[in-house]
Structure 1
Amino acid sequence: MPRATRTSAPRATAGDRPAQPSPVPAEVDLRPFMAAFPTGVAVVTSLDVDRRPWGMTCTSLCSVSLDPPSLVVSLRSASPTLGAIREQGGFALNLLHDRAQATSHRFSSGDPKRFDDTEWELPVPARGPHLRADSHATADCAVLSTTVIGDHTAVFAEVERVITRDLTPAPLLYGLRRYARWPLPAGTPATGSPDTRR
């Protein structure tokens, strides 16, 4: 009668061990990351139902489409400026030049007298106040849709018209928590575009 042989259980390998629970991810602070991505500076303006002007500084903006010409701006959801934009259905986007740092500060401070201390005009058919003395270009935009994401609202809009002005003062830039001016002299042709392979 053959003898029964004793076999030992196979040893567990690293691949057989139960997976350890993943550590809880730390809360992400996006601000330092985005501070390392320099952008232009703009002031978004609009009018409420009483034709009172509202405006705020904005660096979160991006083109969306060329046909139709459209863009998106990201605004704080609790902002009265966003409330005016919703009421009026449009806004003006003023791209600031590098001599307008004080205006950028003023419109990011919540100062209730910011329009009293700023030169502005409302040409027909403007969607919001044009900061002619502080901007090198202004776009009048009609709201297409809005999407709330966290504490901000993305406002998608179609550009109805664009007014460009003298670029002698260069575009105002902001990054690494400080202002800077465009490094190339006005009129120097660009060597390439980041959009050419889109």
Structure 2
Amino acid sequence: MLNSASPQDTPGGDDTEGTAGAEGVPANRQTDLRPFMATFPSGVSVVTTLDADAVPRGLTCSSLASVTLSPPTLVVCIRTASPTLRALLDQGQFALNLLHERARAASDLFASGAPDRFERTEWRLPLGARGPHLTAAAHAIADCRVVETVAFGDHTAVFAAADRVTVRPTAQPLLYGLRRYAGWSDAAAVPQPAAVPLTPPALPSEGAAGVRR
């Protein structure tokens, strides 16, 4: 669940040399998951919330998943030191904005840490919203309440109940993998290979040459 495939700054392994273990791998050397997770393309989201002074906070995140349909629950994994995470936990709520394929600029902006990111993008806070809605960049938005958190390593998994979901069916998702972006429209335009029929192998008929009874 690490954000290692995300355009945002992400955790990685420690390549410090150490004493080799039983398998010939240094005992105190951690595996760098980033090359592995980069080969697992995903959608891109921006997590948004308000802090105690009603100042909007947000960051780019691709480390998210559905947990259960009943109750409707999501999990996002966020760097524990993130100011957005602190505000999110203080308020107990956030909005999860899934970006459409023309919103690469928004992904880069919210991954940059720029202090004026909300001044450079279109957003609003409709009645009942759990965090800012990126109206020009998102094709789907879930308003979420925090129900549980689990800190592990340098990230915190935030489990949240989705109170409301808004989807724009005409927009297509932005994808990210192998350190680059792609659009769902481009991926979906590639012709699919013809399905291979799953038929049982033909059995030789009785009396055919080479068949013994």
TM range (shorter): 0.7 to 0.9
SS at match of 1:180: strand
User: Quick one: which of 174, 177, 198 aligns to 1:175?
Assistant: 177
Partner of 2:57: 54
- The count of corresponding residues between Structure 1 and Structure 2 is 165
SS at match of 1:104: helix
In the alignment, the residues of structure 1 paired with residue 163 and residue 30 of structure 2 have an alpha-carbon distance, to the nearest angstrom, of 40
Partner of 1:158: 161
In the alignment, the residues of structure 1 paired with residue 145 and residue 45 of structure 2 have an alpha-carbon distance, to the nearest angstrom, of 17
TM-score (norm 2): 0.75
Spell out the pairing of 1:21-36 with structure 2 (5 A cutoff): 22=22, 23=24, 24-25=26-27, 26-36=29-39
Q: Which ranges of structure 2 fall in alignment gaps of 5 or more residues?
A: 1-20, 190-194, 196-213
TM-score (norm 1): 0.80
Partner of 1:42: 45
Q: Does 1:184 align with 2:184?
A: no
In the alignment, the residues of structure 1 paired with residue 36 and residue 157 of structure 2 have an alpha-carbon distance, to the nearest angstrom, of 19
Partner of 1:95: 98
In the alignment, the residues of structure 1 paired with residue 106 and residue 173 of structure 2 have an alpha-carbon distance, to the nearest angstrom, of 13
Identity of aligned residues (%): 59
Partner of 1:117: 120
In the alignment, the residues of structure 2 paired with residue 87 and residue 51 of structure 1 have an alpha-carbon distance, to the nearest angstrom, of 12
Partner of 1:86: 89
In the alignment, the residues of structure 2 paired with residue 54 and residue 114 of structure 1 have an alpha-carbon distance, to the nearest angstrom, of 9
Radius of gyration: which is bigger? 1
> Per-residue displacement from partner, 1:45-89 (whole Å, max 9, x unpaired)?
000111110000000000000000001000010111101111110
Q: What RMSD in Å do the two structures reach over aligned CA positions?
A: 1.4
Deviation of 1:166 after TM superposition, in Å, equals 4.3
Q: Which runs of 4+ in 1 moved over 3 A?
A: 23-26
